[in-house]
Structure formats: C-alpha cells, structure tokens
Amino acid sequence: MLMRISLIVAILAALAIGVLNFVMVKEKVTNLAASRDSEKSQKEQAQTELASTKQELDTTAKKLKETEETLVATSTERDTAKAEAEAQSKRATELQTKLADTTKERDDSQAYLQRYKVTGYEPEQIAGLGKHITDLQLAMEVTGIEKKILQRNLEKATAELIKLRGEDYVVQLPPSASGKVVVVDPKWEFVVLNFGEEQGAKKDGQLLVSRNGRLVAKVIIRGIEKDRSIANVMPGWTFGEVTEGDVVIPAHPAS
C-alpha cells in the first residue's frame, strides 16, 4: 500500500514537474515569439525608414543637381550679359569719340570755309594765290641771296680799291664772325678757322687769338672759303703758341 502511495506521489510529482516545465517552456516560447515579432517589426520599420531616407536623399540629390545646373546657367547668362554690357559700353565710347571727332572736323571745315568766304575768293582762286605767294617768296629769297653776294663783291672791290690807292684801311668784321682754331701749322705760321664767308669772314680781316681769356696771338685772314678760312700769324703779335681749340674774335669789330 505504501508502495502504491509512493508511486502515485512520484507520478504526481512528475506530472507537476512536467506541467511546470511546460508552463516555463511555453512562456519562453511566447517571449521568444514576441521578441522575434518585435525585432521583425523594428527591422521592417527600419527598412521602411531607410527606403524613405534613401528616397529623400535621391530627391535632395536631384534637386541639388538641378540647382547646380540652374546656377551654372545663371552664371553663364550673367557672364554673357556682362560681356555684352562691356561691349555696348565700349561701342558707346567709340561712338562718342567718333562723334566728337566728326563734330570737330565739321567745325574745322566750317571755319575753313568761312575764311574762304571772308576773302571773297573761290577755293580754286585761293590755291592759285597760294602758289603765287610761294613763287614771290622764292623770288624774294633769291633776290636776298643775290643782294648778299653783290654786297660782298662790293666790299671786296672797295677794299681792293683802297689798297690800290694806298689808303690806311682796316677791314671791319661783324661781331658774329668768331670761332675757333681747328688746324695749326707752326712751320708756315698759318691756322685754319671754323668759319668762312657764310659766317661773315672777310679777306684781310684781323682776329685776336686767346685761350682762357689770355691773348695768344693776332692773325690776318688770307683765304676764305664757304665755311672756313685760312689766316697767317701776324709778326710781332705772338705771345704764346697757338693751338687747336683757341678762340678767335674780330680785332676790329664793326660797330
């Protein structure tokens, strides 16, 4: 009897343990299922959020690209507009300059035409008068040259005449007839001067030779050319050695 009781107790205990284990396992299974469902739901939510975020990123990237394209197009339009504005400004400046030049040319032409009107002559007649005036000026220049030549010849003839008569005559030179010694020949006692007939030199004209304000010698012109003359050192008038570069001035300048 005791044994049957023990067996029953053992069976009841086993049943109790089995029920307890079933309850505990069922709870764990339930918890795992709930945890799995929760993780699945979170995963699905995360995937949905990820897809939404990706879509938003794609939309943002598309808008950014469109904005960049718009910015590039705007910059290009701005540069084009700036270049066109600069070109228009340059053209306006050029047109203003041309307008000013044209206006000046018009005013000059009108003033020039007015001068013609004041004279009472036609332009063709003015051109003829200009040529006539040029011819007269040329004739006057030729006459002046001929006058100078005649004057020099007269002075030469007068000097020769006085010399032939034996009169005490001193050749006067113009104050401008001065210069320098360019060549010296001490053996033959003559010098070459850097001025001649064109500068007022006259035959038998006397010159004082100086250096640093000190009298060196006195010379007399014996030969004359266009731009130079040859003079001899006068005896008794040597106070030093004549050298190239010495200054000569008229001994008897005309007043």
Q: Could you tell me which residues come within 8 angstroms of residue 221 by beta carbon, excluding any fewer than 6 positions away?
A: 193, 201, 202, 203, 204, 205, 206, 207, 229, 230, 231
Looking at residue 242, its pLDDT comes to: 95
Q: Comparing 77-86, 178-187, 228-237, which segment has the lowest mean pLDDT?
A: 77-86
Looking at residue 129, its pLDDT comes to: 55
Does residue 113 sit in the same domain as residue 99? yes
Does residue 109 sit in the same domain as residue 5? yes
Confidence category of residue 180, pLDDT binned at 50, 70, 90: very high
Mean pLDDT score, 207-227: 94
Does residue 7 sit in the same domain as residue 75? yes
Q: What gap in Å lies between CA 39 and CA 32, rounded to an integer?
A: 10
Better-scored residue on pLDDT, 139 or 59: 59
Residue 209 pairs with which residues in a beta bridge?
A: 217, 248
255 assigned to some structural domain: no
Of 91, 119, 147, which residue sits at a domain end?
Answer: 119
Give the whole-number percent of the chain exceeding pLDDT 90: 23
Does residue 103 sit in the same domain as residue 164? no
Looking at residue 5, its pLDDT comes to: 74
Does residue 188 sit in the same domain as residue 199? yes
Looking at residue 241, its pLDDT comes to: 93
Does residue 200 sit in the same domain as residue 151? no
Tokens at residue 93, please?
A: 């400046």
Give the whole-number percent of the chain exceeding pLDDT 70: 71
Q: What gap in Å lies between CA 48 and CA 252, rounded to an integer?
A: 128
Does residue 98 sit in the same domain as residue 111? yes
Looking at residue 20, its pLDDT comes to: 65
Tokens at residue 58, please?
A: 């794609």
Which stretches does DSSP call E strand in 88-205? 179-185, 190-193
Does residue 7 sit in the same domain as residue 64? yes
Looking at residue 231, its pLDDT comes to: 95
Structural domains of the chain, count: 3
Mean pLDDT score, 155-180: 71
Mean pLDDT of the chain: 78
Does residue 53 sit in the same domain as residue 71? yes
Does residue 164 sit in the same domain as residue 181? no
Residue ranges making up the domain that contains 188: 171-250
